[in-house]
Chain A
C-alpha cells in the first residue's frame, strides 16, 4: 500500500472512530489530554499494522482492543499513580464542595456516566465494549481475549454495579437485558 493511500485511509478511520475512542479512553483515564494522547498512539499502532486489515469489522475490533490496552497500561503506569497521589493531596487540601460537579450530578446521564467511571476496570471493559462500542458478546470476548461466559458474567455484574451505584444515588438503572 502506498504511503498516500495509507494516510488517506488513516484519516478516514480517525474521522470514523476518533471521537468514540476518545470518549472510551476518557472514561478510563479521566483526562482529555491523556485520552487524546492514547488515541493518537492507538492510531499510530494501527497505521503500522494497516496492511493486515481487510475487513471493516476487524479494524474496529483492533482499534478498541489497542485503545483499551493502552488505557490499562496507562492506569498501571507510574505517571498515572503519581497524578493520583497529587490529586488525592489536592483534594485533601481543598475539601470545599464543587458546585459545578453537583449540578452535573443532578442529571440522569451524569449519574450513569459517574457510575460507569467508578466501575473497576474489568467491568468497565465489558460494559463499554458491549454498550458503547456496540460489540456482540463474541466480539467483546475476542477483544478482551476472554471466554464468552466470563464476558457474560462480568457484563451482568457490571450492570448490577452500575444499578447499585445509581440506586445509592437515588436513580434506578441496570436491568439485565
Chain B
C-alpha cells in the first residue's frame, strides 16, 4: 500500500463516517427539499434593491423641483425660462466618474453573486452601490433660471446671504443678467448667464464694504459698475488707457451702470473715477476691484 495512504489511514483511523453520519446525511437530504434558498438575505436584497431603484428614480427622473416655464422673447435669440432643475454637469468630474464606474462594476458583480447564490455578497454590493449613488446625488446641484426681479430675489434664498434683502437694480445685457441687492452693510451681485435655455445663476459676488466690485464682461466688452446708496456721484469717468468714457449718473440710489466699451481691454490699465456735484474726482474702482467675467 502507498506509504502516504497507509500513514493517513493509520493516523486517522478513528475517523469513521459512522451510522450517525449516514442518518444526518439523509436528514439533510430531506430538509433540502423544504429549505431551498436562505430567505433573510433574499428579502433584504429585495428590500434594499427596491430602495435603490426608488432612490435612482428620485435622483434621475425628478429633474425639476419647481415647475419650469419657458418663453421666447427676443426672436429666439435668448429664450426665457424659470425654475430649478438638476445640474448633472458634476457627473463629469473625475471622482464622480470613478463612483459611476465603481457602481457599474459592483452591479455586475452583484448579478454574478446572485447567480452563484452568494446572497450576502449581493446585499453588501447593493448597500455599497446605494452609498456611492447617494453620495453622488448629494453632490448634484441645481441650475436656477430666472425671468424677472422677483425670481432673482427668490434665488437669494439659495445662496449664503441674509434674508429680506432689498433689490437695488437688475439689468440684462445680451446673454448676461445681473441682480444687485443689499441688506444693511452687506451687498451682493448675482450674475446669470444664458445657457441656451434661459438665464441661469452662475456667479455670486458679495461685499461688506461701502463699494462693490465692478464687473468687466470680457466677451461682450461691457463694464457694469455698481453704485451704493447716497453715493453723491454726478458722473463716472472710465479710463481704459485706450479710451476715456464719461457717463452721467441720474440719481443717488444704489444702481448698476452699464458702460459699453469699444474693444477688449486690459483691466490692469483701467481706472473708474467718480465725479461728485462739486466737480471733485476720486478713484471709485481700481484694478483690484474690477472682476473680469
What is A's interface to B at a CB cutoff of 8 Å?
A: 7, 10-11, 14, 18-19, 21-23, 26-27, 32, 35-36, 39-41, 43-44, 47-48, 108-110, 112-113, 116, 127-128, 131-132, 134, 162, 173
A46 CB to nearest B CB, Å: 10
Choose among B2, B8, B17, B28 the residue that contacts A27 (Cβ–Cβ < 8 A): B8
Choose among A14, A22, A47, A132 the residue that contacts B2 (Cβ–Cβ < 8 A): A132
A110 engages B25 (CB within 8 Å) = no
B29 engages A44 (CB within 8 Å) = yes
A19 engages B26 (CB within 8 Å) = no
B17 engages A22 (CB within 8 Å) = yes
A116 engages B8 (CB within 8 Å) = yes
C-alpha gap A132/B24 in the complex (Å)? 26
B22 engages A14 (CB within 8 Å) = yes
Check A18/B2 contact, CB under 8 A, given A40-B28, A109-B10, A116-B8.
Answer: no
Number of residue pairs spanning A and B whose beta carbons lie under 8 angstroms apart: 81
Q: A7-B26, A23-B8, A43-B25 provided; 7 other pairs, C-beta below 8 A? A: A10-B25, A14-B25, A22-B17, A39-B21, A41-B28, A47-B29, A128-B8
A-chain residues with CB within 8 Å of residue B22 when the two chains form the complex: 11, 14, 18
B32 engages A132 (CB within 8 Å) = no
A-chain residues with CB within 8 Å of residue B24 when the two chains form the complex: 36, 40
A14 engages B8 (CB within 8 Å) = no
A-chain residues with CB within 8 Å of residue B25 when the two chains form the complex: 10, 14, 40, 43-44, 47
B9 is an interface residue with CB less than 8 A from chain A: yes
B-chain residues with CB within 8 Å of residue A44 when the two chains form the complex: 25, 28-29, 32
A21 engages B7 (CB within 8 Å) = no
Majority SS of interface residues in chain A?
helix
B-chain residues with CB within 8 Å of residue A35 when the two chains form the complex: 15
B222 CB to nearest A CB, Å: 67
B137 CB to nearest A CB, Å: 32
B-chain residues with CB within 8 Å of residue A108 when the two chains form the complex: 7
B-chain residues with CB within 8 Å of residue A36 when the two chains form the complex: 17, 21, 24
* Residues of chain B from 53 to 92 with CB closer than 8 A to chain A in the complex: none
B11 engages A109 (CB within 8 Å) = yes
B16 engages A19 (CB within 8 Å) = yes
B4 is an interface residue with CB less than 8 A from chain A: yes
A-chain residues with CB within 8 Å of residue B10 when the two chains form the complex: 109
**Which A-B residue pairs are the 5 nearest by beta carbons?**
A18-B17, A131-B4, A109-B7, A112-B7, A23-B12
A132 engages B17 (CB within 8 Å) = no
Check A131/B28 contact, CB under 8 A, given A19-B15, A19-B17.
Answer: no
A23 engages B29 (CB within 8 Å) = no
C-alpha gap A36/B22 in the complex (Å)? 10
B-chain residues with CB within 8 Å of residue A39 when the two chains form the complex: 17, 21
B262 is an interface residue with CB less than 8 A from chain A: no
Check A113/B16 contact, CB under 8 A, given A18-B21, A40-B28, A44-B32.
Answer: no
C-alpha gap A144/B163 in the complex (Å)? 73
A66 CB to nearest B CB, Å: 13
B-chain residues with CB within 8 Å of residue A162 when the two chains form the complex: 4
B212 CB to nearest A CB, Å: 63
Choose among A22, A41, A47, A109 the residue that contacts B15 (Cβ–Cβ < 8 A): A22
B230 is an interface residue with CB less than 8 A from chain A: no
Check A134/B2 contact, CB under 8 A, given A10-B25, A43-B25, A113-B7.
Answer: yes
Considering residues B2, B7, B10, which has the most beta carbons from chain A within 10 angstroms of its beta carbon?
Answer: B7
- CB nearest to B31 among chain A residues: A44
A33 CB to nearest B CB, Å: 11
B-chain residues with CB within 8 Å of residue A109 when the two chains form the complex: 6-7, 10-11
- CB nearest to B10 among chain A residues: A109
A-chain residues with CB within 8 Å of residue B2 when the two chains form the complex: 131-132, 134
A-chain residues with CB within 8 Å of residue B7 when the two chains form the complex: 108-110, 112-113, 116
Check A26/B17 contact, CB under 8 A, given A43-B25, A134-B2.
Answer: no
B-chain residues with CB within 8 Å of residue A21 when the two chains form the complex: 17
Cβ contacts A to B, 26 pairs, < 8 Å: A14-B17, A18-B16, A18-B22, A19-B17, A22-B15, A22-B17, A23-B9, A26-B12, A36-B17, A36-B21, A36-B24, A39-B17, A43-B25, A47-B29, A108-B7, A109-B6, A109-B10, A112-B3, A112-B7, A116-B4, A116-B8, A131-B5, A132-B2, A132-B5, A134-B2, A173-B3
